[in-house]
Structure 1
């Protein structure tokens, strides 16, 4: 069975059950009220006829009895309203009865009457001259009357239950009509309530099918704060997460595809060179005097391939935070001095000069080997793209850490080139891609290592004016709270 129908049945059952209970309670209360009203009316009739017919001695103020003519007049009047009465004296003898009305009063009832209590009987069958009336049930009130604290008479007054039941029957008919109308209304309300819930579920089902087809942009409208709306919000959060995950997968796939293409491109040149030289040696196409030079070329290209593979592995480990980091405070002036001495020969080949401006004893908080790798790559990059120029290396203590600047007056870069230098295998100057085994991975590695230290690296460059790299490394109290990642 569909959820819509199950919900309709549930709502309809609850509403009908509630209406039935209320209807029964209303009928019961109304029935009780109608009997009480009838009894009160009978009491009023009884008091009125006693007041009209009772006679007292004006001299000694004693009870003399009831005037028969007054009783007959009241009997005729009340008979038209289907009300009958009988009067008893204090000896329990019936002294008057309208239309032969002959009620029976038990001994227990007499005891109560003598105590001044009024007795109410819901169903009784006293004898009446009219045969049809004799067969009909009546509701009766038996009421005592006292004069100077002495019981002088008892009046039993009754009317047919059918009179009360006629009113009750009409009330039940009206309630039945109202119940039927309410049932139809309950059915409509149940449908609307069930539909309001299943409509949201239908929207979720439709959206789920869209997600199954790969559409992660679908959204389910949320208008309320019930559980289904909470589910819709969770669904929307899920589709957002799936969309972002799908976008990330596409980016990763594009990065993987680009990496494979770039790696193949980078490896093609040295492998082609090595293969050509090997074929030349195999078929004696290379003179003997050039063998050593050919072997040297193959060795250089082999080392370049090894560096390319190692740089890629290193970059991936750094990017995925899988390298060990042992950060500590050390004198960076000594490190930069050693790097200058190592790279002076390479700079001299390009007719460059390296100028170092670092305060003695300047302490930096970093992983020693990774700091060397960062500075070596940036300085080497400056030498590579500068000819007959000056490379300046400076370091200063600043707020919360140390700042390093490596600037050159080389070929520089455009704004578009600056935006792409952190991409793997990107080369700002393709014509120089083979010098010093440059693989396009040095600066991406620098960027990832600086980030792992909790620092920041920025670049300023202008074509034919030069480039400046600024690197900030934080102090221990401002650095990320982890020393190693495995």
Structure 2
């Protein structure tokens, strides 16, 4: 069954039950009020006759006044019977001549005790004893605590039942009209609710088809569950949209990675293959064979380094290496790094300087620390021509702070954002891998610093140089094994 009809049935059922309960209560209340009104009227009539139609001193009955009263009330079919203290009918004449039966003994006892008696329905007419549904009200009249008369007012039940039936008939018409209105209201309410859900369903279908440019706007209060669901759905779509964009970007990076990896490996392999063919066919002069073998060794080492960097990166990224942390002098390690890179810096026309105290303690894995600073410093040399590179180190509060600043070509904000991704090169046009640039160095650096529980930041501006800032926590605050932040 469609949700529209389910909602309609639900709303209609609620309205139907409500109307039924209200109708039943209304009929019962109306019926009770009609009966009470009828007896109140009969009581009022008996009170009037008590004061005007019966003389308590002479014991005489004013028959003319009673007849006039009955004439006035003929439309209501109200009649009266007067009983004396001995339970004998004195008025009207046919009742006095034996037409009226005496009041039942149980009611007579109540009347003698001064209590009025109201009988909701009798099956006989008290005046002539014929079968007829009647209502009757008995009113005792006393003088000096002695019962003088009992005034009985009676009327056919038909009047009361007609009034009740008329009320029920009007209520039935109102009920039917209300049911028609309930059907219309439940339809529009159900249509409104299902319309909101259908919009969500349509949007879900679009998302399932791969369309993430979906906006679902559902009107209503923030406390409305459907509105809350729509908001959650919109948040989910936005997350999926962002994920899809990231997947596309990662796919592009994967393609670029494959192209870069192929390029990095193809160049040395082509060189080695060409040299091997030259040696095999004696195409290389004898005096050049030694140089060719040296070139093959360098290209082979380059391939080994590229493979090792990939393996190293994966081990670091998946937290498969353990750090052998200890406290050592960072300044001494920096001097060793600079001495190794001095020749490369000279080839690029760069000057490397160290600004650090003689003793700057750092808590880290010595080999990994050297690897980090070596890669950053080498990266600075690669992107700086005829400039300066400054390496700084100092002890901070519960940490060691280091910085490598160059006056090179700098980077744009977009380049800074992507430098931690493997095989990303800030200068894609630079294909010269003289110093082993593979695009993996900074990715490894980021992972290693994170593994130490430290932080690394980059500040750069195109044409003005770059500064890498690193912090390593001391032994007191450093985690045993910091969680790895996986690069994208």
Residue of structure 2 in register with 1:402 after alignment: 400
Q: For the structure 1 residues 179 and 381, does the alpha-carbon distance in structure 2 shift closer, same or farther, using more than 3 Å as the test?
A: closer
The answer on whether the counterparts of 1:207 and 1:220 sit within 8 Å (CA) in structure 2 is yes
Q: Give unpaired runs (5+ residues) of structure 1.
A: 58-62
Q: For the structure 1 residues 80 and 324, does the alpha-carbon distance in structure 2 shift closer, same or farther, using more than 3 Å as the test?
A: same
Please state whether the residue corresponding to 1:124 is helix, strand or coil: strand
| 1:311-360 deviation digits (Å, cap 9, x = unpaired) | 22333444555544455543211211222333345556667654333212
Q: Give unpaired runs (5+ residues) of structure 2.
A: none
2:77 to 70, 78, 82: 82
**297-306 or 281-290, which moves further after superposition?**
281-290
Residue of structure 1 in register with 2:9 after alignment: 9
Please state whether the residue corresponding to 1:144 is helix, strand or coil: strand
**170-179 or 307-316, which moves further after superposition?**
307-316
Q: For the structure 1 residues 104 and 229, does the alpha-carbon distance in structure 2 shift closer, same or farther, using more than 3 Å as the test?
A: farther
The answer on whether the counterparts of 2:78 and 2:153 sit within 8 Å (CA) in structure 1 is yes
Aligned pairs (5 A) from 1:152-163? 152-163=148-159
Aligned pair 1:236/2:242, yes or no? Answer: no
In structure 1, distance between residues paired with 2:476 and 2:93: 111
Aligned pairs (5 A) from 1:80-479? 81-97=76-92, 100=95, 102=100, 104-127=102-125, 134-222=130-218, 223-224=220-221, 225-319=223-317, 323-347=321-345, 354-384=352-382, 391-398=389-396, 401-408=399-406, 412-413=409-410, 415=412, 419=416, 422=420, 424-426=423-425, 428=427, 433-452=432-451, 453-460=453-460, 463=463, 467-476=465-474
Q: For the structure 1 residues 428 and 228, does the alpha-carbon distance in structure 2 shift closer, same or farther, using more than 3 Å as the test?
A: closer
In structure 2, distance between residues paired with 1:191 and 1:121: 50
Q: For the structure 1 residues 118 and 440, does the alpha-carbon distance in structure 2 shift closer, same or farther, using more than 3 Å as the test?
A: same
Aligned pair 1:67/2:62, yes or no? Answer: yes
Residue of structure 1 in register with 2:43 after alignment: 43
Q: For the structure 1 residues 351 and 185, does the alpha-carbon distance in structure 2 shift closer, same or farther, using more than 3 Å as the test?
A: closer
Deviation at residue 380 of structure 1 after TM alignment: 2.5
Deviation at residue 478 of structure 1 after TM alignment: 10
In structure 2, distance between residues paired with 1:180 and 1:417: 72
The answer on whether the counterparts of 1:308 and 1:439 sit within 8 Å (CA) in structure 2 is yes
| 1:365-395 deviation digits (Å, cap 9, x = unpaired) | 4333221111111223344456776544332
In structure 2, distance between residues paired with 1:220 and 1:461: 42
| 1:421-462 deviation digits (Å, cap 9, x = unpaired) | 555241648567231333233234334434554322324466
Please state whether the residue corresponding to 2:470 is helix, strand or coil: strand
Deviation at residue 161 of structure 1 after TM alignment: 1.0
In structure 2, distance between residues paired with 1:104 and 1:227: 73
| 1:81-106 deviation digits (Å, cap 9, x = unpaired) | 41111111111111113775735521
Deviation at residue 273 of structure 1 after TM alignment: 0.4
The answer on whether the counterparts of 2:136 and 2:155 sit within 8 Å (CA) in structure 1 is yes
Residue of structure 2 in register with 1:60 after alignment: none
In structure 2, distance between residues paired with 1:70 and 1:361: 133
In structure 1, distance between residues paired with 2:462 and 2:168: 98
Deviation at residue 249 of structure 1 after TM alignment: 1.6
**106-115 or 326-335, which moves further after superposition?**
326-335
In structure 2, distance between residues paired with 1:32 and 1:196: 42
The answer on whether the counterparts of 1:84 and 1:99 sit within 8 Å (CA) in structure 2 is no
In structure 1, distance between residues paired with 2:383 and 2:192: 69
Please state whether the residue corresponding to 1:140 is helix, strand or coil: strand
In structure 1, distance between residues paired with 2:281 and 2:120: 132
Deviation at residue 22 of structure 1 after TM alignment: 1.4
The answer on whether the counterparts of 2:456 and 2:471 sit within 8 Å (CA) in structure 1 is yes
Please state whether the residue corresponding to 1:138 is helix, strand or coil: strand
Aligned pair 1:52/2:47, yes or no? Answer: no
The answer on whether the counterparts of 2:411 and 2:460 sit within 8 Å (CA) in structure 1 is no
The answer on whether the counterparts of 2:56 and 2:148 sit within 8 Å (CA) in structure 1 is no
TM value normalised by structure 2: 0.87
The answer on whether the counterparts of 1:118 and 1:143 sit within 8 Å (CA) in structure 2 is yes
In structure 1, distance between residues paired with 2:349 and 2:176: 105
Aligned pair 1:22/2:18, yes or no? Answer: no
